[in-house]
Amino acid sequence: MNTFGTHLKISIFGQSHAPVIGVVIDGFPAGITVDTEALQRFMARRAPGGAAYSTKRKEPDVPEFISGFAHGKTCGAPVTAIIRNQDARSSDYEALRDIPRPSHADYTAHVKFGGKNDVAGGGQFSGRLTAPLCIAGGLCMQWLQKQGIAIAAHILSIGNADDIPFDPVRPDCGTLTAGKPPVLDASAWDRMLSEIEDARKMGDSVGGVIECAATGLPAGYGNPMFEGVENKIAQIVFGIPAVKGISFGSGFEGSRVRGSANNDAFVMDGDAVRTKTNNHGGSLGGITSGMPLIFRAAVKPTPSIAQEQDSINLFKRQNTKLTIQGRHDPCIVPRAVPCIEAAAAVAICDILLNSNHPIGE
Amino acid sequence: MNTFGTHLKISIFGQSHAPVIGVVIDGFPAGITVDTEALQRFMARRAPGGAAYSTKRKEPDVPEFISGFAHGKTCGAPVTAIIRNQDARSSDYEALRDIPRPSHADYTAHVKFGGKNDVAGGGQFSGRLTAPLCIAGGLCMQWLQKQGIAIAAHILSIGNADDIPFDPVRPDCGTLTAGKPPVLDASAWDRMLSEIEDARKMGDSVGGVIECAATGLPAGYGNPMFEGVENKIAQIVFGIPAVKGISFGSGFEGSRVRGSANNDAFVMDGDAVRTKTNNHGGSLGGITSGMPLIFRAAVKPTPSIAQEQDSINLFKRQNTKLTIQGRHDPCIVPRAVPCIEAAAAVAICDILLNSNHPIGE
Amino acid sequence: MNTFGTHLKISIFGQSHAPVIGVVIDGFPAGITVDTEALQRFMARRAPGGAAYSTKRKEPDVPEFISGFAHGKTCGAPVTAIIRNQDARSSDYEALRDIPRPSHADYTAHVKFGGKNDVAGGGQFSGRLTAPLCIAGGLCMQWLQKQGIAIAAHILSIGNADDIPFDPVRPDCGTLTAGKPPVLDASAWDRMLSEIEDARKMGDSVGGVIECAATGLPAGYGNPMFEGVENKIAQIVFGIPAVKGISFGSGFEGSRVRGSANNDAFVMDGDAVRTKTNNHGGSLGGITSGMPLIFRAAVKPTPSIAQEQDSINLFKRQNTKLTIQGRHDPCIVPRAVPCIEAAAAVAICDILLNSNHPIGE
Amino acid sequence: MNTFGTHLKISIFGQSHAPVIGVVIDGFPAGITVDTEALQRFMARRAPGGAAYSTKRKEPDVPEFISGFAHGKTCGAPVTAIIRNQDARSSDYEALRDIPRPSHADYTAHVKFGGKNDVAGGGQFSGRLTAPLCIAGGLCMQWLQKQGIAIAAHILSIGNADDIPFDPVRPDCGTLTAGKPPVLDASAWDRMLSEIEDARKMGDSVGGVIECAATGLPAGYGNPMFEGVENKIAQIVFGIPAVKGISFGSGFEGSRVRGSANNDAFVMDGDAVRTKTNNHGGSLGGITSGMPLIFRAAVKPTPSIAQEQDSINLFKRQNTKLTIQGRHDPCIVPRAVPCIEAAAAVAICDILLNSNHPIGE
């Protein structure tokens, strides 16, 4: 199911090589003017074709809005945007109908859909479907910005090249401006590019970790137990292909230290309540604390590699060798950065638009 | 919101010091006899009062089934089970009304519910609410067992004491039998107890990581994008208090290695399809691969510690010191093990009971 | 599935002869004191045992609140209430295991649940399950009252005995006070009782129509298309056994007249917008208009009648005769009145607690 | 919210005068070839421009499928279809920004969306949005046909001109073939046309009742209480603008008769279970009985009439007169017939694709 959200519902459609990919955004606030240039800049960060580490598939990824507007502003009706696929070469994939690519969804989709699934370019499982996610997220970020909420992500690591992490209490999102590499420590970028280039030369790929921060969130939003901030964000972030882990605040590292070190003391900051540290990552009991929301997502190495791999022939039921043709990214982590931001933005909008708040007597 | 699931819906209710905690399980298959002794053994692994690392609160945690059965078998109506709280001492918490405990949900609940929330024992945010989760999960595990599916978890680490991880291809769940410490390497247990005891002596606490495996899952279940296996399991697992991270398969570690090392080659095993390795953790594209499902959850150190901490007085709006009274676990990781299994079992039932499968022509 | 609602979620459990029936109400506002006497009076209108037209089963139907309160007020945690069944005589139903009662759910439940369903008293399909609905609805009505919203229903007809309908513009809910027959024209009640008594004497039953009004609803709540006011109310009202039709405003009658007669002209009333007539029944495009919400529900004659009926033996696969034993209402319409009010109250709360409103720029 | 369904989810988008209207259908079975000619014939029954009773707006309403197919068959990915609006004349609606049309959603949308809603042609509340519903329903009907399930509707009445009702036990859907008037008694059609023509000449409009039957449904599908057959169908049918009532089986009429007359005796038909009569309309306890599903929907007279009406100026806050310009149907009932069939088809698919069935031991 390709639908996410309760108060803001997004429904993503399309396949890698369908005529169109797109998204319906239901519940988006009315009266909003979209800054299409800013949206296009946001989309461009994800678009393929622009860098050495990126697939050579060329897609301008210009969203066309086909519903949800009146006189240039959102009107409360579902906002629908589509992107026409332009540079699809399905013939690259004919050989893959019988032989599933390791660590792709080819095999599991084959079983689930009885062999009727669209194999071209990975079909609906393609990373290309993150383009409509970015449209939805880009719109949400523009609305959130008006509410004083900023979202920014950077690459924490690619392979073994590490950036510095956010200061969890005061994450410097200003460093992450469009047109510059998405790292906090500029020197990390070269090391990351080397990791990618080394992998590419060997017909291999690398993964990485992306760290995302959202600032300006008011306290008291979210829900207990199964609809909390972490639950919602995890649900959408695992919708991005290749994400295999997520952690909030001090996460896995925090499980190593003691409570006295991991606890975040409350402190008055004028009349505002803050915490001295932010190991909780902005959510306690599934509810926003007013501190920055900080989370990390682990992105696996691109499963499409140029090296010959072992696989099977699904119809002959025998082992075989597979060499993947087509155009692939040796590392999708840089292009996944805006996708993570987009996912966070959609989830945060869904959380904020649920003002199911204390009404009391 | 305390409800999880689409085809199997669970709805958890109660607070730490309410008369009753419980769960409604809607959509559970009809005709099932519950093995109440096995369920009680499962519940006992989570129950407090039994060990040095556990709170001294004594709760027998015997589920009482009040609906959903006819002639001793489930009848298709919602199964409801309750546990009567017995050893609640709310007076321990009176002082906490004004002063939120660091890294608990006291403050965020106060904001969300306008100060009307139940503070006693953490109210609805208490770890005590994992008891009804274990009832639901225990029932699900019994049904799954009939389908040939086993679920088992062990402690991968407490503080800096590490167990060995599961063999992802053939996780040895047999080692993990009731009545023995939940570790694969028996020697790890003593080191873990030392970590806990060291923390306890200093009025401190420790966290850890739990690793869970499910074997016997058929391929082809789950859904693309936002309702995949990872999304579902993450959504429910983050409903367990203190969980701050989750990863599937090689997870965060996998993001460090190359695609050629992380990819899982397909191979015929007789007429069955398997993968040689299992870095994907049993799910590709959100759909089960037929390989064991493997995931890890990071549990933060218990936020309730005996040491004096900095906090604020919510009504006087000023900084203050806080020393937490009451009975607390210096480490909740051992008791969280069955909770993780229970969460996995509920999510897997929800996934399997959705046989929204290829019907085709 | 026994769960209703998005922002206020209710989950009903129990069977006619289970130890307990009850309801979990998730999302109910915090800080509310329940007037238990008013709730009990509301419950008493539905309770069996009190009138000639009612089953002789005696059930005091006193709700016991087992979670969701702190210091006597709702605390934001799910409110759970149970009723212990007291006067269940399952032996009355043993004969029915093989022979489904005409126009009951015995047969369809048998097919759906593979014969594992609880047949005693109709199991989960029993009208007894409207008692927990009334608990939820009674609480919602108390909260709605604080918001200036009143809900009241009356019997529009039983068999061929008709009451006068509500004035749709200014429904006189004041006439409908507890302790008096639920009709607007007092003289209708005797005619209705005659209809019931005539049916009862012949071992037969009668149905009827209930009309419900909600006043004080602000304009602008609800949603377009599939989550509108009518959709929501219809979804919950059809959850009451025996309801087979629902209409809003002029409903089926309105389809007979012309647009010029059915249209509701807008008119200023001071600075408020009203309509001169209210054939739309308070909802246009699924969104409240600020006019009273008016709807009607058709209740079929009680399917349990004393006369011998034709049926089949499910196991012998042959035709047979059936005479239903047990205690049954010759007319459930009077007892269904508070159930309709309760259903409306729950739906309206769910609609109002979704303040997914224009936020705009 | 413009989304319906659990196992088959449809998400409708667009406004009357947006560039495009369309639908995303998520969960549609894989491997299905769409008969586009049959779909086009189905769409043509709803399309405007073809008859005296229809708006003069000309729209060919040819669906363009932009996702969800591979090699000409559905592939398990969401099926998306769009229709480009061609004959939109928004200038007709400029005058309506300030003056809401009686019994339209103009006013309620204005309040809900803070005046930011799209007024042109009724925006998202337009009957035009039933075109994408018909695409979804048309596809579902083709799939249902392969399962042996047929759905057909006819006009039961327009104004005071009545058709004969379906035989509930053996509804003759064969009479209702494309290209002929949608009535069972051919003579009723002339009387209906007279009703429409009489109204049109007076600048007025008429409503009517549509009766729909589904045959071939297996027993045992659906759910108790809030997710039953009636609940589901009512939820989607009230999504069709102008529907103000729905009843199943004997419905409101059934509430007038006695139980002995309304009950449906079970009888063996060979080895199959049937009922002698079908006053229950195919659903008992929310679960299909195997008998034909029969329901009726009341359609109000088109609110757009040519006569001058009373309304208000929303900005000047004063009473005013309104004469509606634009092109409108004096009776939408004939064009609503396929919409009702489509809604039923979508709901039935959603019900059938939930095979959350007895699994037992």
DSSP characters over B202-213:
TT--B-EEEEEE
Rounded to 10 degrees, the C-alpha dihedral C108/C112/C113/C118 comes to: -20
In sequence order, which ranges of B312-354 are alpha helices (DSSP H)?
333-352
- Is D67's CB within 8 Å of A27's CB? no
pLDDT at position C106, please?
A: 95
Going by C-alpha positions, the residue among C169, C261, C176 that lies closest to residue C210 is C176
Contacts with C32 from chain A: Cβ below 8 Å: 360-361
Indicate the SS3 state at residue B308. coil
* Neighbouring chains to A with at least 3 Cβ pairs closer than 8 Å: B, C, D
pLDDT for C357: 47
Interface residues from chain B to C (CB-CB < 8 Å) = 1-3, 9, 11-15, 18-22, 24, 26-27, 30-31, 66-70, 73-80, 82, 109, 112-114, 116-120, 123-124
pLDDT digits (tens, 9 = 90+) for B52-75: 666 666 778 899 999 999 999 999
Given a cut of 60, is residue B359 above it in pLDDT?
no
Please indicate whether, in this complex, the C-beta atoms of B287 and A1 are within 8 angstroms of each other. no
Place of tokens 């009724």: D122
Q: How far is residue A153's CA from residue A294's CA, in Å, rounded to a whole number?
A: 9
H helix or E strand, kind and range, residue B42: helix B36-46
- B327 CB burial (10 A radius; 0-12, 13-18, 19+): middle
Closest by CA to C36, choosing from C3, C16, C61, C5, is C61
Cβ separation of A287 and B199 shorter than 8 Å?
no
Question: D111, D314 in Cβ contact below 8 A?
Answer: no
* C31/A77 Cβ within 8 A: no
Mean pLDDT along residues A286-311: 97
End-to-end CA distance of chain B: 40
Tell whether the model's pLDDT for residue B46 goes beyond 90: no
| C234 to D247: CB separation less than 8 angstroms, yes or no | no
What ipTM score was computed for the predicted complex, to two decimals?
A: 0.96
Is a pLDDT exceeding 90 seen at residue B203?
yes
User: Within chain C, which residues score under 50 in pLDDT?
Assistant: 357-361
| Closest in A11, A15, A19 to D77, CB measured | A15
- The answer on pLDDT for A272 being more than 50 is yes
Contact indicator for D100, A142 with CB cutoff of 8 Å: no
Q: Is there a contact between A7 and C356 if contact means CB atoms under 8 Å apart?
A: yes
Angle at Cα D293 formed by Cα C256 and Cα C199, nearest 5°? 75
The predicted structure's pLDDT at residue B328: 79
CB contact under 8 A, D32 and B360: yes
Tell me if B224 sits within 8 A of B285, measured CB to CB: yes
According to the model, what pLDDT value does residue D358 have?
40
What percent of chain B has a predicted confidence (pLDDT) above 70?
93
Cβ within 8 Å, pair D357-C112: yes
Q: How far is A74 from chain C, CA to nearest CA, in Å?
A: 9
CA distance D162 to chain A (A): 37
pTM of this structure: 0.96
d(CA C228, CA A189) in angstroms, rounded, equals 51
> How far are the Cα atoms of A265, B95, B100, B204 from residue B321, in angstroms, in the given order?
10, 12, 11, 16
Looking at residue A45, what DSSP letter applies?
H
The residue whose two tokens read 């996995």 is: B344
Specify the range with the lowest mean pLDDT, choosing from A175-179, A347-351, D140-144: A175-179
Alpha helices in B238-327 (DSSP H): 251-254, 259-262
- Nearest-CB residue to D231 (from C159, C239, C266): C239
Contact list in A for residue C146 (CB cut-off 8 A) is 361
Nearest to C257 by CA among A220, D159, A32: D159
* Chain C residues in contact with chain B using a Cβ-Cβ cutoff of 8 Å: 1-3, 9, 11-15, 18-22, 24, 26-27, 30-31, 66-70, 73-80, 82, 109, 112-114, 116-120, 123-124
Three-state SS annotation for chain C: CCEECCCCEEEEECCCCCCEEEEEEECCCCCCECCHHHHHHHHHHHCCCCCCCCCCCCCCCCCEEEECEECCEECCCCEEEEEECCCCCHHHHHHHHCCCCCCCCHHHHHHHCCCCCCCHHHHHHCHHHHHHHHHHHHHHHHHHHHCCCEEEEEEEEECCEECCCCCCCCCCHHHCCCCCCCCCCHHHHHHHHHHHHHHHHCCCCECEEEEEEEECCCCCCECCHHHCHHHHHHHHHCCCCCEEEEEECCHHHHCCCEHHHHCCCEEEECCEEEECCCCCCCEECCEECCCCEEEEEEECCCCCCCCCEEEEECCCCEEEEECCCCCCCCCCHHHHHHHHHHHHHHHHHHHHCCCCCCCCC
Mean pLDDT across chain B: 92
* Nearest-neighbour CA in chain B from C91: distance (Å): 13
CA proximity to C3, closest of C349, C236, C343 = C236
- Contact predicate A355/C8, CB 8 Å: no
pLDDT for position C86: 83
Write down the H helix ranges in chain D.
Answer: 36-46, 106-112, 130-146, 186-201, 229-237, 251-254, 259-262, 333-352
- Closest-CA distance, B352 to chain D, in angstroms, reads 9
Between chains, do C358 and A77 touch, taking CB under 8 Å as contact?
no
Listed residue (D266, D245, D251, D222) closest to C242, CA to CA: D251
pLDDT of residue A358: 41
Q: Is the pLDDT of residue A65 over 80?
A: yes
Contact B192, B158 (CB under 8 A): yes
Residue B330 pLDDT more than 70? yes
What do you get for the CA distance between the two ends of chain A, in Å?
40
Residue from D28, D34, D354 whose CB has the most chain B CBs within 10 Å, to mutate? D354
Chains touching C by CB (3 or more pairs below 8 Å): A, B, D
- Token pair recorded at residue B22: 């419980």
Cα radius of gyration (chain C): 21
| C26: phi then psi, degrees, rounded to nearest 5 | -105, 130
Q: Is there a contact between A33 and C361 if contact means CB atoms under 8 Å apart?
A: yes
Distance from CA of A223 to the nearest CA of C (A): 10
Q: CA end-to-end span of chain D, whole Å?
A: 40
Which residue type does A232 have?
K
Residue pairs spanning B and D at CB distance below 8 A: 48
Asked whether B278 and A102 are in contact (CB, 8 A), the reply is no
Q: Which strand (E) or helix (H) includes residue A138?
A: helix A130-146
User: Could B255 and A298 be called an inter-chain contact, meaning their C-beta atoms sit closer than 8 Å?
Assistant: yes
| Residue found under tokens 């074997």 | B215
Q: How confident is the model at residue A83 (pLDDT cuts 50, 70, 90)?
A: very high
CATH class in words for B3-353: alpha beta
Q: Quick one: DSSP state of residue B245? A: E
pLDDT tens-digit profile of A110-141? 999 999 999 988 999 999 999 999 999 999 99
C-beta atoms of B360 and D33 within 8 A? no
pLDDT band at A359 (very low <50, low <70, confident <90, very high): very low
Query: Which residue out of B262, B319, B323 would a mutagenesis test of the A interface target, given it has the greatest number of A Cβ atoms within 10 Å?
Result: B262
Low-confidence ranges of chain D (pLDDT < 50): 357-361
Residues on chain A touching D118 (C-beta within 8 angstroms): 69-70, 75-77
Cβ atoms of residues C67 and B14 within 8 Å:
yes
Helix (H, G, I), strand (E, B) or coil at B309: strand
* Per-residue pLDDT at B361: 41
